[in-house]
Structure 1
């Protein structure tokens, strides 16, 4: 056995100054199990203090060249304290990916590894190790169970040969989803997009490679899972779900460490799954904000997939009913190839407004007469969908006398009403507005400013007597419906999937959705409306209320790519993302100025601000070209480390103050 080995270890710590590899000696008694990827414990700084980490690399100094790759060190390395587990849970490919993404976003690799490697579950791990050592643990993942065995033609709705060669040619494609529903042999109705992802995954499995499917939330996961239940062997599918219990999630993670190819299905963290012989990464609806990681370093799952594809050379697919501007930029530079369905079949979307509307009741109900008549005729045959902007009954209230927004007397938050007859309450702190008095006119009564799903359901229930009314939102989650007549009031993204599709769809509150202050508001609305329209039955009308201009044209002609192209062109002129990258730098004025000083020497870099946010903190926005991304990240990360390292505990205190400099790259709501 070799002796004198050196372990290069990544310490599991959020401190930026510890975000690099540390060298430790490997004791002889641990050398047999000291392999890259295992969890270890080692001393850190003071005597008796033990930290957790991952063994990244094992070096034998005797095998190094004369000059060596490790700086000459005459002291004595501290030995590793223990090996927590002999299972190499952190593959070298995943560590390289985490390191690359962290460097790109001026963050810590550990923060990404926490997403990639679930917490250890001892019983689950012992059972998995025992199964691996047993001869009976070998699983026969046969590719014979596929769509072709049922006589179904795979990818029939796309040009022949375009999707079949994606994995073999390591292609990168932006695919337009077919906007309709399909019914599986077991009677389950899912979106056509879910079937396309499942077919691509099964084809990858048949070629002896693994596939990763990344979707925004559990509703999308259930649709893809339903397709995989029909097309793929159950033992070949691993679902990585945030709703799983810790043992189940760790069990699914360990299954991915096996040598057999697998299909990995999950939300944004699934992009880091340790899939062996990775052949394909697929993202559904990459413009959905749920793909954005809310924890530092805030890496979007699309960016993680792009970097992983570059590192591994696997195929990549971005699929959606609409196209994000980020995906359009990749198409424009030739990095992604476009794929459209063989036939231009899309829902019949009819934009309409209230110009010339003679019926005052129609205006009050926010539904033009034409839309009203379409819904009345369709509800006799099956379910009708009415999409609204906000949940609740009356999300925002105003003073009846002066018409100014009603504010909470405790925290000045907006007042809303959850249901008819309920006491208004603050949407921020939850305080009940009992005995409320307006600060402007001393009034005591409320008026409804905006109508939510509950109030809309109440009004339409009176307008359609005898019809079953169903509310679907965050508080009332419903995923599937039958084909029976019903009036479904749903918020965006919460629409149930009906058997056979909706007989009519009304998209209300378009003006209110577009009133949100965001650079992406038009892109988001187009995505919400397209996803809802894809639930329509063949030939059913989809009526878009109160929206005109380029968005109405894009939905009516089903040309999301043209809208994304126009949006990208405008952002290039204004130097807005994704034409350029952006980063926010928040801290004290001195810290921010010090961090930005070195960036002034780079070309194609400009700074907006700084401006005061929460005194004494200020914020500056740095805009830079993609070619300078690595250099900007390096400079800002160095200042973050310097800022965190120079902090000192107050005299007599035991804790250091929090860092005053924070950096975030590619913030979607920054501009």
Structure 2
């Protein structure tokens, strides 16, 4: 067998770091020269299979995640399967003595292999589910993230449902090949609020591919603006793809698209649909019945034909991060896909991430924001509490978690409608300590943090779940506890006592509210679970800012500002927002001024000075110390690479410390300039291939651009 030695075509005019990524072909000559079905001059054996007369060689991407096998393999197409074995279909082949799944990438007349080729065992389905465009994108994403083609395809192509495939194909909502009879220029709608908004729509209308980072005005109009941009692209005869963070945002854009486009011209793809319905809608996109898609992160690979626009909303949300290898982020995938397809790009949100700011500063994208006068009209009035002068004027604020000024704002706003209260922590009391010496309470079995589930519940361990009803302080022997951090449930309980007769509703991981009415109510929510209110909230209280800002995370300030602005954008224009945090902090000042762009510029400049992402590119290696040392020894790092660590890796999901078995693994970071990102990914991929060829038992988790560095 011979490895792919074909040339590559490099992208030009892309982002620094994306510029150096090769446009890998879907398949190259891989493993062999086709052998005939009978000996020269001899007769075919009885029962022997004969190869197809036309293009008898099939190049197969086998569903194997081993890095040293990450290449296509050549097989013979038997004559009885010649009609079904089409590029993109699912097949079964014999590999290393076992029947495995795979995708047929292409048919060829001959192979480079000089030995004997095996036959395809069967065609699982003749449906060409892996389109050439998605296959090429999957190869490029695998190379970008030091992963394998098989891992990316698992994310791109949903599992098969034979019953759904057998259903009749619905009629397309619009004929993609027929030009519109009477094209009508759409009004700019909400895009008229932005100085460059109408020119952006005009570029979409004329078939061009503008790239913009959009800082949306606060309020509910963002979904309608996205729908208007998608409608303009569909009117031009192209397709559109919209990626949202969660199902609630998908539902809002789905409703806006239906109102803008009418019924049947788009589909929504979310995990809540169930496997069968999701596959049915995905097939509708594949077969051309719908040319616009809105969905969560898996939709970034949706097979939209004639792609003309990709949209990503709130790219800083950690829900966008893919938890499965090779851990691609929709921002990078959509940027690669837009370049390959020549499509327009719209990355939007109420705030701006440093990653998006880098795209603007590099010239790859343009900034799309409203004028400062319009921002002041649409934004709420933000004030902070927490400075010494304010504490001196407010005696209750010295000991109370909610200062009197916040109480007064809530009491006044409740006369007009609902009030939003954002609490960083879920649960009742997620952290407790000794009531006398303030020593944090820990589990005697695993040293995990103890918490209280309710006012009458016994302390329990958040790691192992063990009840600690007889806990006493190991330092002073005291048995009573006090709260270190108060959760959403306890906050709702306290507000219910403070505002008798007012309905108190909670929204969090256990039960997320889809929305609330315009009647007076207190809505206590954790970040990201805030429900929109009919007509908007009359005020918002952003509590315990120190919890968000004090996290040991490089992105703590950026993420805090994003969560605050997402919550404050649900408040009516010019209505009050109170944030409990120190007013001199940059994130608080950015919220008060409603100026996320300046904050992102400052953050990016500071990270560029110290060499932190996104100014530099980093890769994390997580495994035992011996495995990390072995992988680094096998890796030919590019020039300028810097290895940091390894250091003990915290246990997954344990935010308060390493926890049980947390010290069994370590993590090392490799830092390189962004221009060397592809070279680093290729080097790590090759080293992983060497380890897998040796059949090393332990796997090293390799993650390019990890979300968390600390």
Aligned to 2:359: 330
1:396 aligns to 2:431 (yes or no): yes
Deviation at 1:157, TM superposition (A): 2.0
Aligned match of 1:444: 479
1:290 is aligned to 2:323: no
Match of 1:17 in 2: 68
Aligned mates of 1:352, 1:449 — CA distance in 2: 20
Q: Which residue of 2 aligns with 1:315?
A: 344
Task: Pick from 633, 637, 659 the counterpart of residue 685 of structure 2.
Answer: 637
Q: 1:594 to 1:207 in 2, by over 3 A?
A: same
Match of 1:518 in 2: 553
Q: Distance in 1 between matches of 2:630 and 2:466?
A: 43
Correspondence 1:579 to 2:621: no
* CA drift at 1:235: 0.9
Aligned to 1:163: 200
The aligned residue for residue 304 of structure 1 is 333
- In structure 2, what is the equivalent of residue 554 of structure 1? 590
- TM-score under structure 1 length normalisation: 0.90
- Confirm or deny: 8 A CA contact 2:627 2:698 kept in the other structure: no
Q: Does 1:479 align with 2:514?
A: yes
**Alpha-carbon deviation of 1:587?**
4.2
Give, in angstroms, the shift of residue 414 of structure 1: 1.0
RMSD: 2.4
Alignment equivalent of 1:54, drawn from 83, 97, 103: 103
Match of 1:371 in 2: 406
Unaligned 5+ runs, structure 1: 62-69, 181-190, 648-656
Alignment CA distance shift 1:80-1:555 (3 Å): same
Structure 1: how far apart are the matches of 2:488 and 2:145? 39
- Between 1:266-275 and 1:400-409, the stretch displaced more is 400-409
Match of 2:653 in 1: none
1:44 corresponds to: 95
Task: Work out whether residues 635 and 686 of structure 2, in 8 Å CA contact, stay in contact via their aligned partners in 1.
Answer: no
Q: CA deviation at 1:594?
A: 4.8
**Structure 1 481/619 Cα, relative in aligned 2: closer, same or farther at 3 Å?**
closer
Q: Any unmatched runs of 5+ in structure 2?
A: 1-51, 650-661
Equivalent position to 2:149, from 109, 116, 136:
109
Query: Structure 1 residue 354: deviation in Å?
Result: 4.8
Alpha-carbon distance, 1:663 to partner? 1.6
The aligned residue for residue 236 of structure 2 is 207
SS in 2 for 1:447: strand
Any idea what the Cα deviations from partners look like across 1:14-56, whole Å, max 9, x if unmatched? Answer: 222222101001111111121110000011122xx21100001
1:34 aligned residue (85, 101, 116): 85
Counterpart in the other structure of 2:605 = 569
Determine the C-alpha separation between the residues in 2 that align with 1:480 and 1:275: 31
Any idea what SS the aligned residue of 1:75 has? coil
Q: 1:307 to 1:152 in 2, by over 3 A?
A: closer
* Alpha-carbon distance between aligned partners in 2 of 1:659 and 1:166, rounded to the nearest angstrom: 51
Whole-angstrom distance in 2 between the partners of 1:116 and 1:451:
41
CA 1:475 to 1:365, structure 2 compared with 1: closer, same or farther past 3 Å?
farther
Query: Conserved in 2, the CA contact under 8 Å of 1:392 and 1:418?
Result: yes
Cα displacement (A) at 1:209:
1.3
Tell me which residue corresponds to 2:709: 670
Work out the CA distance in 2 between the residues paired with 1:173 and 1:261. 25
Paired with 1:52 and 1:11, the residues of 2 have a C-alpha distance of: 6
Distance in 1 (alpha carbons) for counterparts of 2:481 and 2:667: 38
- Contact in 1 for aligned 2:240/2:292 (Cα 8 Å): yes
TM-score of the pair, normalised by structure 2: 0.85
Pick from 488, 503, 514: which aligns with 2:523? 488
Runs ≥4 residues deviating over 6 A: 141-144, 148-152
Alignment of 1:582-621 (within 5 A): 582-587=618-623, 589=625, 591-597=627-633, 602-611=638-647, 613=649, 618-621=666-669
Which of 262, 269, 275 aligns to 1:240? It is 269
CA deviation map 1:450-501 (0-9, x unaligned): 1111111122222222211112211231121111011111111111111111
Distance 1:586 1:487, change over 3 A: closer
Cα offsets for 1:66-110 (capped at 9, x unmatched) = xxxx53x33210000000001000001111111101111110111
1:454: which partner in 2?
489
1:349 maps onto 2:382 in alignment: yes
Aligned residues: 635
2:225 paired residue number: 196
